[in-house]
Chain A
Amino acid sequence: MSKKMRNQEKHRILMVSDFFYPNFGGVENHIYYLSQCLIKIGHKVVVMTHAYQNRSGVRYMTGGLKVYYVPWKPFLMQNTLPTFYGTLPIIRTILIREKISLVHGHQAFSTLCHEALMHARTMGYKVVFTDHSLYGFGDVGSIHMNKVLQFTLADVTQAICVSHTSKENTVLRSGLPPEKVFVIPNAVDTAMFKPASERLSNREIVIVVISRLVYRKGADLLVEVIPEVCRLHSNVRFIIGGDGPKRVRLEEMREKHSLQDRVDMLGAVPHAKVQSVLITGHIFLNSSLTEAFCIAILEAASCGLLTVSTRVGGVPEVLPDDMIVLAEPDPNDMVQAITKALHILPQIDPQAMHTRMKTLYSWHDVARRTEIVYDRALRCSSQNLLERLSRYLPCGAWAGKLFCLVMIIDFLFWHLLQLWQPDRDIEVVPDIHLTNHRRGETSQDFSIDDNLR
């Protein structure tokens, strides 16, 4: 494929989610790093999210990443209030202004994502959806969430999941054909997570735990495991970073077994300081009860720590067997796994592990694979309203008809907006290219082509 043809296939992508900077988390980092790597390849990326306290309006981030902080306040767990048609005008304006070719939504729990994907489909854009979490099937919340997901994914062009277990879970929840779901894992910024320059001494082994101290992340398992490990191995110390409702239980455990000198509780650790906490340890302990893909393990492995984790969700797929010791979510099993890890520890070389992680995971690789998904999505044929409605009907006896009604009203509202504020009246944003000194001529070529268009 000639360079000229590759130039013409550059996409203009809108990433939509409720979860973005200034929040820190798996989804937020994924969107940020993916956007940066896509910009480096030459695509244009715009992010849309809701306003965070005073941070509202348009902001620019590193590399010219434009972020629209739409002035909707979050109402529940960082989600915007779901008014079905309220976001249609602003989304239409953004899509036309930025000449978007493809909309990419993240996280099933984000109401803004579902609404944006619905409106984008109504207006004829191709959509891609990435699911970052695992959900159950049995309880009331999950049943409703799965129905909403079924609605959104009934008409999505392509879907991406972050692990094979997540793909199975998403296919079961939404009824998508498995061929439509791509598995593209997260990655880790190996430049930021470097091991310590000097190897730590092996006299005293330090086990690091960094996670939110909630039930889902297995804080109760920690309460059972830590005293037992401290009893069995006298040269082991724990460092616990993070905060949450279960912190009280951990403090109580510390008092009850008099482990004040062997267990350090650091409180909430800001994202920028995570690496400095990790490099003080030899082993990283993850006790979550459910994980679609655990980025914390990648960060620890990139810093040269040996990982001990519970065998849940997508965790067995994340690291090769010699970099991780898996255990069932049972305190005895976890204590045995920690003992095994302590025996393996002398053979671990942090620098070698870091170098190996650079070959196993890279955000550039993720961006390239995502680009393939985008190419596939844009090659799919466009469908008119009737063909799309026929995809919603099989969702359920009552639900199918309700979904069709929702889409028809959306369609009518869109046409009303087109009459009221025609497309040609919306100003298009000119492309601004930040000159990238490292890249030299390559970026110059792109900007010349764009100015000629």
Chain B
Amino acid sequence: MEASIGRRSSPTRLKWRKVAYGGMQPGFEDNHTDESFLEDMIMNASVVKRDLLKVMLDSVSISQYVCIVALVVLVWTYTLRSTFNENSLMLLDVILLGAGFFVFLLTAEMLSFDLLLSYVLKIFFFITGLYVLSPIYHTLTRSISSDSIWALTASLLVLHLFLHNYSGSTVKAPGALENPTFTSNISLNASIVASLLIASRLPSRLHVFAIVLFSLQIFLFAPLVSYCIKKCSFRLHLCFSFGLMAATLLFVYRLHGLLFVLLLGVLVFVNLVGPYWLIRIQEYKFEINGPWDEAKLCFNITE
């Protein structure tokens, strides 16, 4: 009773409303900050809580691809030193092509004879094209010094690894939903240019053809094959990756001690240090959403 008398004796103060019309609200200044200030703000709405083990298992894809690239560089080194001759390279190419195709056929869901025939035809045209163009690659960098070639190749490979799309495959597998992104296209181009640069340093045209075919097979189709393996069974993917890592470490150890230490360091960083660090700094993530956000259209714009 007394409270209401008290309210009646003081001038009736209207409640502050969150409106812009009607001029200054009586009894309130323009910089009045109400208790309802920022009450519609939503923080960290779409942040995913990550589990350390899952992140480590996911990072195995990255180290698997790093090992594949390391093996490719190994083959290039042996070829440049003439440890491998062109016949063994051709044999390697055929084995890889066969193995990759075999894995793809085993794990592919939609198979039809027409699809298979189209793939075989495309591969045949691809190989023929490479063979026809190999004389051009042979003399491509005659006038450039070797140091520039090694430096350029190294930087292109680093760029390739940085921008690579580790979650999918740039070459679209049938049934894959994502389109290739801009950075994955750049990384693919970098790897192709690097392999052409290395190929141009080789003695004969058959060498060039063999090494270009080998490099392109790996860079274009290895992500596709590993994507198929991962889709088929996760345990198979883990076994394949660990086996590959062990084999790579062994071969690099036999080549050069320092490179072995470097590769080991990279693998440890990617698999162990990286996930731990990511989860540590996730605490600082601050995502802000509220009525000021641009509205998202709920339908797709079909041009």
Q: Do A and B come from one complex?
A: yes
Which A residues are closer than 8 A to B by beta carbons?
134, 136-138, 162-166, 168-169, 171-172, 178-185, 216, 218, 220-221, 224, 249, 289-290, 292-293, 310, 312-314, 317-320, 329-331, 359-362, 365, 369, 372-373
* Given A137-B288, A168-B292, A331-B299; A320-B21 close (CB under 8 Å): yes
A165 / chain B contacts, CB cutoff of 8 Å: 291-292
Q: Is B11 an interface residue (CB 8 A)?
A: no
Smallest Cβ-Cβ distance to B40: which chain A residue: A168
Which B residues are closer than 8 A to A by beta carbons?
18-24, 29-31, 33, 37-38, 40-41, 287-288, 290-295, 297-299, 301, 303
- Which one of A162, A164, A289, A365 has the greatest number of beta carbons of chain B within 10 Å? A164
CB distance from B29 to the nearest CB of A (A): 8
* Given A220-B297, A221-B297; A169-B290 close (CB under 8 Å): yes
A134 / chain B contacts, CB cutoff of 8 Å: 292, 294
Known pairs A136-B293, A168-B290, A361-B21 / 5 extra A-B pairs, C-beta < 8 Å: A169-B290, A172-B288, A290-B293, A369-B24, A372-B30
CB distance from B120 to the nearest CB of A (A): 41
State the main secondary structure of chain B at its contact with A: loop
B293 / chain A contacts, CB cutoff of 8 Å: 136, 290
Give A165 to B37 CA distance when docked, in angstroms: 9
Question: Judging by beta carbons under 8 Å apart, are B295 and A169 in contact?
Answer: no
* Given A164-B18, A183-B20, A318-B21; A313-B291 close (CB under 8 Å): yes
B21 / chain A contacts, CB cutoff of 8 Å: 185, 317-320, 360-361
A312 / chain B contacts, CB cutoff of 8 Å: 291, 294-295
Instruction: Count A-B pairs with CB separation below 8 Å.
Output: 93
Question: Judging by beta carbons under 8 Å apart, are A220 and B301 in contact?
Answer: yes
Question: Judging by beta carbons under 8 Å apart, are A178 and B37 in contact?
Answer: yes
Q: Which of B20, B287, B299 makes the CB contact (< 8 A) with A185? A: B20
Q: Which of A166, A249, A319 makes the CB contact (< 8 A) with B292? A: A166
Give A335 to B301 CA distance when docked, in angstroms: 18
Q: Which of B19, B33, B295, B303 makes the CB contact (< 8 A) with A310? A: B295
Question: Judging by beta carbons under 8 Å apart, are A318 and B31 in contact?
Answer: no
A178 / chain B contacts, CB cutoff of 8 Å: 31, 33, 37
A313 / chain B contacts, CB cutoff of 8 Å: 291-292
* Given A138-B287, A168-B37; A360-B22 close (CB under 8 Å): yes
Question: Judging by beta carbons under 8 Å apart, are A289 and B294 in contact?
Answer: yes
A218 / chain B contacts, CB cutoff of 8 Å: 295
Give A330 to B295 CA distance when docked, in angstroms: 10
Smallest Cβ-Cβ distance to B293: which chain A residue: A136
B22 / chain A contacts, CB cutoff of 8 Å: 359-360
Pairs A–B under 8 Å by Cβ, sample size 10? A164-B20, A168-B37, A172-B290, A183-B20, A216-B294, A289-B295, A290-B292, A290-B294, A314-B20, A372-B30
Give A159 to B57 CA distance when docked, in angstroms: 50
Question: Judging by beta carbons under 8 Å apart, are A317 and B33 in contact?
Answer: no
A289 / chain B contacts, CB cutoff of 8 Å: 294-295, 297
Give A224 to B299 CA distance when docked, in angstroms: 10
Give A182 to B110 CA distance when docked, in angstroms: 63
CB distance from B27 to the nearest CB of A (A): 15
CB distance from A58 to the nearest CB of B (A): 33
Smallest Cβ-Cβ distance to B39: which chain A residue: A168
Ordered nearest first, which 9 A-B pairs have the shortest CB separation? A185-B20, A329-B295, A290-B294, A169-B292, A182-B30, A178-B33, A360-B21, A289-B295, A317-B20
CB distance from B45 to the nearest CB of A (A): 11
CB distance from A107 to the nearest CB of B (A): 16
